[in-house]
A and B are shown apart, each in its own frame.
Chain A
Amino acid sequence: MSESEKVNRRGFLKYAATTVGGLIVGGVIGHLLAPRAPAEISTVMVTEVKTTTKTVTQTVSPTPTAPPAAIRILGTEGPVPPAVEKNINKFGEVANADVTYESFPWTGFHEKGTMSLTLPGKGMYDAVVINCDWCFPAWHEYLEPLDEYVKRDNFDTSDFLPNAIKHFCMWPKGMKVKPTGLEEGELLGLPHLSDAMFFVIRKDLLEKAGCRLPTMDDPYTLEEFKEVCKKLSNPPEIYGLGFYHQEEGGMPDTWTALYFAIGGEKARWFNEDLTAAINNEYAKQAAEFLKDFYDEGITPLYQIEQAWGWLEENFKAGKLAAIHSWGLGALSLKDPSYNPLWDKTELVLPPVGPTGTPLTYYAGWSWGIPKNAPNKELAWEFLKWITAPEQQEAHAIQCPPTRISVLNKLGKEREYYNWLRWVAERARVLPAIPQLLEVNRIVFTQLTRYWRGEIDVDTAFETAEDEINSLMRRLGYIS
């Protein structure tokens, strides 16, 4: 080896050793000095932080007045619209508390919540809003059990919709998955918002086509519903039906609802032993039913690339005659300030399948207290306050309630609340599994390939079932 080669080699080794050594030392120092806080994800930002401070009137006293207690709440825009935020701020006045409410953007909320709840030591939030399907199954180990609080304060939970309590707030101890979604267990939250998927339709086009509006006593059948959408369709100017078919973060909502509608109680995602159960005739019939919508031009195929919000945007722009949407979003389309076609828009009941199950499923949000919450007692007071009948009634128009008494009262003025109660009692719910989003994406990927004509329906569901079982095996749910 020449002298210059020896020099180069020494230099190279010196450089390599310095790099690796520097990384290790830097890593150790960083680990020791790093504050106990989650890393920020660069793609999301906190949109706003609101603080309400109660002004304390100083009375004459030899000892200083204790500062107000503080509570920090994490929410996101869907389940915490402006009307609910108003109530959150009011809690500060009522409880003489400093309330800090953080509204985190929808995309990224799940990750933000996960990182906050899993912090060791004292956490950042006292109360968190929790989605029943894609948050609760993953977070249940990190939530404070509330049975003792309920018992101690004699708090009555019987006014809440039973399926809301079971699906949004209960988890059996030691169980990793709730195959039907309605298994009872420890109470880990209080139900906040009820929702189900409804259809929003252009009633002017419906009248023009000579079609009727469905009612609770006489809903559409699935075939009648398809005919109606076909009559409203005039592609490419206007499509008869739009629904969410996005793979990212998505639930194959419409397909799932159809699967439930066609199969009823037999439409399962998992068997008792937690192996996949979706490779069946009902799942295939649901897929074939929706394929007709794509093949006949009733639904545009490009909807698979669309993100949240595109349904409402295209409906408002007159590109879609009907959409399958969550009630929360659907209600806003009746608002004149939001939808220029508001007076031509009607919210309609979902059609009913051969088993009597409606083409929808029931879901919602709850409020929970993280186990690492700094102020659990105040958080419990907040939960009782925000889910009380008065508050649920006050924010009902933007946030459908979970209390039976409130639904009954509001149902006298607006049919929608009666529908919601009707759906809550009849509709299916999703299985509760922490990796539900992944399971959905497996199904969605195969559905996309089938709807695009790349594979047949049997291959789609065989592949989906195999992949789900492989996933369940990898995660240790099955052997």
Chain B
Amino acid sequence: MPPSRIVLIAATLVWFASAVPVKAAMIADPSPEIKRLMAAAKEKGERELDLVWSGTSLGGSEGARKFETLFNRMYGLNAKFNFTPGPSMTDTAGRVTQEVAAGRTASTDILMGTESHYGDLVKRTVLEEYDYSRLSPRIQKKFVAPKNIGTEFYTIISGITYNTNFVPANEVPKKLEDVLNPKWKGKIASTTNAAIFDRVAMRPDWGVERMKAFITRLAAQVGGLIRASENERVISGEFIMLVMDGGGHQVRKQQLKGAPVGHVIPEDAGNISFGYMGVPRTSAHPNLAKLFINMVMSEEGQKVVFETHFADHHELPASQSAAALAELTAKKAKMLRVDIDFVMKHPEMGKLSDEFRNILRGQQGG
């Protein structure tokens, strides 16, 4: 056989090997609830899932394809995922709320949000009430949102994003007040909505008044305000830090690309919050949507969540986020768990957030 043909055959075999994705195990013995949902989906002719969330969440379009493959393997189905990158979680939550109020089919079968969005949705009849712990023993009762409107599916650990070219390792802030170092004056940014500070204010070691005093000093320290998703403006050097950010998972993604960016959780301001998923009451494909959530919470699903989103639920077995968190707690950093219950118990956080935002806005006229 001529060498060129050997090379061709070898190349073809390699191509086939790389083209066939790693096979995920199909559920051997589905629970009665899974069987019921599959039967209901079949009966109602649900063959598609309409998904709208931010292009950066769960890997956007590319991530949706991975989940589609896993979904169909797991349930032996041939469902099609129609993913569309949408606006912010706040805008999507607002849109779905209005659609449900008008009795329209929701534009997404799964509503993704954080504890602050879901904290608001608990008070409204937007999401279907369904006990997600029935799906799998992996979905613990404590993960399920009040009124059963959704479930936690990944952990968010907020902190400070910084540019490693401008902030040397020995000068990385250890405590929140370290960002007030005069050498950073005018060079750091905060978020337009003063994110996270209201939560930190709820920590016993901070309190509202101390946080207000801190925000007032921070307002004089920051050079500007950007959205939490604008990490690239830190990477470019326009700002050398973002205090506080929307979670370290975004930084991990950019680090993999070689970006000079780091993420640190101040010892005195650590908090853990969560991403949630639920099914709108007017979802066109509610049964497939619940099967999707079950998949996301499975071991295979959490692997894809980490692969696409660089975070998973730290309290699930084999979590990859748990390691980073363990490192922190080993340093005796106290982490505040901020879930929907916490948000509902502290309604004052909304007003505080407005107040902090106004302080940060400053009075610069330009």
Partners in one complex: no
**Residues of chain B at the chain A interface (Cβ within 8 Å):** none
**Residues of chain A at the chain B interface (Cβ within 8 Å):** none
